[in-house]
Structures are given as C-alpha cells and as structure tokens.
Structure 1
Amino acid sequence: MIILNTQGIVLKAVRYEENDVILTIFTRKLGKIAAMAKGAKKNKSSLLSSAQLFSYSNYTLKKQGNMYRVSQSDVIKSFYDLSYDLEAFSYATYITKLVESSTLENQTNNRLFVLLAQTLYLYTQDNVDKKFITRAFELKFLDYIGFKPVVNRCSSCGEKKSNEYMFNAYEGGILCKACSGIFEENMKIDITTVKLMEYILSNDILRCSKAKVSKYITYELQRILKQYLMIYVDNINFKSLHLLQELENNNGVDKGE
C-alpha cells in the first residue's frame, strides 16, 4: 500500500453515504486527486475540519485502487470564515472551480498551488480589494496553465514602443495601432491596464494585493479576461459571480470612477 504525506486544498466535497465525504483535493505532490474521508461528517471526527471546502491541510493519504483515502490530517488554515462573507465566498468558490475544471488529475503545478493558497488567504483580509485580487488570480492562473496573454509587446509584430494598443483575445494579447487594423474582434484597452497586467505577471499575488487600482481599470481587466478565459479555458463557470453582479447592479454600483 502506498502512503504519502502532502499539503492540499479541498476544491470540492461531496457527501457519500451517511458520514463519509469524497474530496477533490489539489495537492502539492500529486496535483488534483480524489480522496475518501471516512467518517468525516461525524461531529467528533478528526477529519471534520480538513474535509471542508477550501480547507488547507497536511494530509496523509493511502492509495486504494483509483482513489486515495485520507487516514490523517492536520489543518494549516481552514478558511471556514469565508462562508460568512458573500463576496469572499463567491470569489473563493469561483477560483476553486476554475482550478478544479482546468487541471488534470495527478499533474502537479506548484506555482498554481501557492497562488490558490495565497489568494484564499487574501480573501480573508478586510483591507483587500477582492474584485481586483480575483482579476489578478485569473491572469496569473492563465500564465501557470500555459495560456499567458502577450502584454509586453504587440502579439503580431512584436512592437514594444507603442503608446496605444488594442487587445485581441483570439490573437493572444495586445496589438499595436498598425496591427490592430488587420484583425477583427479587437477590444479597447487603456495603457494603464496593459502596464498593470505586466506588473501582475511579474510579481506574486501578495505584492499585487498592495496595488491601488481604480474601479475603471479593474472593470476593464475583468471585461478583457472574461473573454480571454472563455476562449482558452474549457467548461468555465461564472455562476458563483452572477449573484454578486446582480447585487452590484441593484445597488447601483458604478463600473468606474
């Protein structure tokens, strides 16, 4: 029997029979795996906290056929408090589903693992712009799964000195003024947004979280990345963000300042 110790973050938790839970865990050493947590729904179970959605724990896993079994666990950070904040919970649900649907089983991605853990941590902080952090996560996520948009030069001719760009998701990034006339489906993009995307791709998300970004630039980043994600990421689900959008619309929240 194979026994392995690894850090992991719970992406999905599905109740099985009365007290068991089938977990989808994104781990450091194994990538995404399915694992059975026997008896985890019992009130006195030692696995109770580590079998919750978003839980970040050390897991001792035993391989049983095509699935693992959690034999022991120690919680590093439960992130349980996210469930009390609608905005944070919605964004956390969105990014964990994004990771779950876009990663293959048993394929490690340590940069993405660290990004996910750090982003969940930032969602628990009061002084963080969670909408901007989600946009930063999306951009770095695209980089770490191999679909980084080109933002440091024209994606067509390679020009680096232009002060005016368009963004074309189908062409993989920004286009200079000359090249933008050749292609369709261009989107307007502020030069400040281009510089911000460069900054996000060059720094970890904890540093990015300290940036002061206007609502307008955050909205523009959202608009661009949504289209880009829909083109390059299969089975993307924005459902958990729809309620937030409806609440913002009902409260008359402005898209820019």
Structure 2
Amino acid sequence: MIILNTQGIVLKAVKYKENDVILTLFTRKLGKVSAIAKGAKRNKSALLSSAQLFSYANYTLKRKGNMYIVNQSDTIKSFYDISYDIEAFSYATYITKLVESSTCENQTNNRLFILLAQTLYLYTQKDTDKKFITRAFELKFLDYIGFRPVVNRCSSCGSKGIKSAIFNIYEGGLLCDLCSKNTEENIKLDVTTIKLMEYILNNDILICSKAKVSKYITYELEKVLKRYLNVYIDNINFKSLYFLKDIENIKGVDKGE
C-alpha cells in the first residue's frame, strides 16, 4: 500500500454514506485526485477542517485501488471566511470548478497549484478587487494549461511593430494591421487592456493584485477572456458568475441605478 504526503486544495467535497466525504483534491505531487475522508463529517473528527471546500492542507494519502484514503491531515489555511462573502464565494467556486474541469487526473501542474492557493488567499483580503483578480487568474490559468494568448507581437506573422490593439480569439492573440485584414471576428481593444494582459502574464498574481485597474478595462478584459475560454476550454461553467451578476443587478435596482 502506497502512502504519500502532499499539499492539496479541496476543489470539491461530496458527502458519502453517513459521515464520510469524497474529496476532489488538487495536489502538488499528484495533480488532481479523488480521496475518501472517513468520518470527516463528525464534529470531533481530526479531518473536519481539511475536508471543507477550498481548504488548503498537508494530506497523508493512502492508495487503495484507484482511490486514495485521507489517513491524516494538517490544515495550512481553511479559507473558511470565503463562505461568508457572497462575492468571494462565487468567484472561488468558479475558479475551483475551472481547475477541476480542465485538469487531468494524476497530472501535476505546480504553477497552477500555487496560482490557485494565492488567488484563494486574495479573495479573503478586504481591499482586493475580486473581479479583477478573477480576470488575472483566468489569464494566468490559460497560460499554465498551454493556451497563453500572444499579446506582445502579432500572433500570425510575429511582427512586434504593432500600433493598434486588434485581438483575434481564433488566431490566439494580437494581430498587426496587415494580418488583421485577412481574418474575421477581430476584436478591437483598448491599448491599455493589451498592456495589462502582458503585465499579468509576466508577473505573480500577488504583485498584480496591487494594480489599480479601471472598471472599464476590467470589463473589457472580462469580455475577451470569456470568449477566449469558451473557445479553448471544454464544458466551462459560468453559473456562479451569472448568479453573482444577478445579485449585482438587484443591488443596482435597489440603489436606483
């Protein structure tokens, strides 16, 4: 029987039988795996904290057939506070589902693991622009799974002498004026949006979180990334974001906006 120690983040927690929980963990050493946390639903269980959604912990996993069993765990950060903030909870649910649906079993991606942990941490911080951080996560996520958009040169001819910001989803990024004449469905972006995308791709998300970004640029980034994700990522689920948008719309009506 194989026993392994690894850091992991809970992407999904499903009750099994009376007191057990089946966890979908995104781990440093194994990538995405399923593991049973036996008795984790009991109030006095040592696994209670580390079997919660978004929990970040050290796990001792015991391999049994095609499944793992959580032998013991030590919580690093529960991120429990996210559950009390509807905005943070919606975004956190969205990005964990994005990771869960877009990664393969037993395929490690350490950069993505660190990005997920850092982003969940940022959602717990009061002064964080959570909408912008989610856009930054999406962009870096695309990079780390192999779909990095080209934003520093023409994605078709490689030219760096680009004056306007013309983006094409199907070409994988920025286009020069000449190449853009031969393609359809081009998107005209603000030059600042392209510069921001390059900044995000070249910097740690903790550094990016300190940037002051206008609502318009964040909105433009959201539109282009949503289309990009729909083309390159299968079965993407935006439900939690739609729910959040409905809440924002209701608040706007209440304020008479």
TM-score category (smaller protein): over 0.9
Residue of structure 2 in register with 1:48 after alignment: 48
Residue of structure 2 in register with 1:185 after alignment: 185
Runs of 5+ unmatched residues, structure 2: none
How far did residue 30 of structure 1 move?
0.3
Tell me the alpha carbon deviations over residues 115-149 of structure 1, each in whole angstroms, 9 at most, x when there is no partner. 00000000000011000000000000000000000
RMSD: 0.9
Measure the CA separation in 2 of the matches of 1:251 and 1:121: 26
Measure the CA separation in 1 of the matches of 2:178 and 2:218: 26
Moved more, 238-247 or 52-61: 238-247
Runs of 5+ unmatched residues, structure 1: none
Map 1:6-25 onto structure 2 (within 5 A).
6-25=6-25
How far did residue 249 of structure 1 move?
2.7
How far did residue 248 of structure 1 move?
2.4
Residue of structure 2 in register with 1:26 after alignment: 26
Measure the CA separation in 2 of the matches of 1:136 and 1:238: 16
Measure the CA separation in 2 of the matches of 1:74 and 1:27: 14
Tell me the alpha carbon deviations over residues 93-135 of structure 1, each in whole angstroms, 9 at most, x when there is no partner. 0000000000000000000000000000000000110000000
How far did residue 27 of structure 1 move?
0.3
Residue of structure 2 in register with 1:75 after alignment: 75
Measure the CA separation in 2 of the matches of 1:83 and 1:249: 21
- After TM superposition, the score normalised by the length of structure 2 is 0.97
How far did residue 43 of structure 1 move?
0.4
Residue of structure 1 in register with 2:143 after alignment: 143
How far did residue 65 of structure 1 move?
0.3
How far did residue 186 of structure 1 move?
1.0
Residue of structure 1 in register with 2:169 after alignment: 169
Structure 1 stretches of 4+ with a deviation exceeding 6 A read: none
Q: Which amino acid aligns with 1:149?
A: P
- After TM superposition, the score normalised by the length of structure 1 is 0.97
How far did residue 252 of structure 1 move?
3.6
Residue of structure 1 in register with 2:104 after alignment: 104
Give secondary structure in 2 for the equivalent of 1:46.
Answer: coil
Measure the CA separation in 2 of the matches of 1:67 and 1:247: 39
Q: Which amino acid aligns with 2:177?
A: K
What is the aligned-residue identity percentage?
A: 78
Give secondary structure in 1 for the equivalent of 2:210.
Answer: coil
Measure the CA separation in 2 of the matches of 1:188 and 1:248: 27
How far did residue 243 of structure 1 move?
1.4
Q: Which amino acid aligns with 1:74?
A: D
Q: Which amino acid aligns with 1:57?
A: A
How far did residue 251 of structure 1 move?
3.5
Measure the CA separation in 2 of the matches of 1:252 and 1:148: 35
Give secondary structure in 2 for the equivalent of 1:170.
Answer: coil
Q: Which amino acid aligns with 2:21?
A: V
